[in-house]
Amino acid sequence: MKNILTPTDFSACAIEATKVTLALAEFTGAKMHLVHTITKNKNRISSVDLEQEHRNVNTLFKEWIKQAGEKRVDIITSCMEGNLVQNIQEYIDTNTIDFVVMGSHGASGKNEYLIGSNTQKVIRKVHCPVFIVKDSMANYGLGKIVFASNFDPSERPAFQYLLDFVRPFNPEIHLVAINTGSWFGQPYLLVKECMDDFVKMCAPLTCKTHFYRNLTIEGGIRQFSEEIGADLIAMSNINKHPLKRIFSGSNVEALVNHSKAPVLSIDIP
């Protein structure tokens, strides 16, 4: 991990995400990138308004530049105009970003899922691992981590990415396959055998396997995670991957909106 990006609208949730980014950058030695996108609307159309907003954003950036300097973290700030998701993808490509941290909801509030939040759009369209912060993560641990999957062998790179990310925290890994009745068509023994291969990848970390029944994929992941007190939920979200058909976009986005734990959406080359 060399470059961590946090898109921010300076909302309370975005501030918590920035705190996580700063902590990760300090821990890993990565460079921190803090980016704000100004979107034009009917109430802000003049060049004077745009210039004033740029000044306001740069003022807000100064506090994070100060905090990063105190922790000896390299930081780059950028204020752009246009489409948020497009700006993020272009910034990722241009600056070799390998990790994104975002708040689960922005300034428009938690109910923005009714029209589709910016975080949902990023998960859907941006090709990079995205760590979605819920609320405050002060003194937050990573003791129990859930990885939900169909455990096809092609899922291994995403799982290996997760292991590389969390291994320094020495967590307990929980592998879960969700049985919805309509989807769970593979024989139990076949899935169990595939899961056992993933367990071997975890050594020396503690790893447990689970089969969980629920009416929906998202509901099953969320309920199981709440039952065991998970600190993080992780899943592969590679567009070309078969798992994309299982965890449909709506399920992934619903999990981001409704889960109490942070979510790591893994989309890697």
Q: Which residue has the higher pLDDT, 88 or 105?
A: 88
Domain formed by 144-266, architecture: 3-Layer(aba) Sandwich (3.40)
Find the angle CA(218)-CA(221)-CA(223) to the nearest 5 degrees. 100
Of 17-26, 103-112, 123-132, 209-218, minimum mean pLDDT range: 103-112
Q: Where in the chain is the domain with CATH 3.40.50.620?
A: 3-133, 144-266
Q: Indicate the CATH number of 3-133 among 3.40.50.620, 2.70.180.20, 3.40.640.10, 3.40.109.10.
A: 3.40.50.620
Distance CA 14, CA 104 (A): 8
The answer to pTM > 0.95 is no
pLDDT(18) > 60: yes
Query: Tokens representing 168?
Result: 């320094």
Task: Please name the helix (run of DSSP H) or strand (run of DSSP E) that holds residue 86, with its range, or none.
Answer: helix 84-95
Q: For 155-173, what is each residue's pLDDT tens digit? A: 899 999 999 999 988 999 9
Mean pLDDT, rounded, of the chain? 84
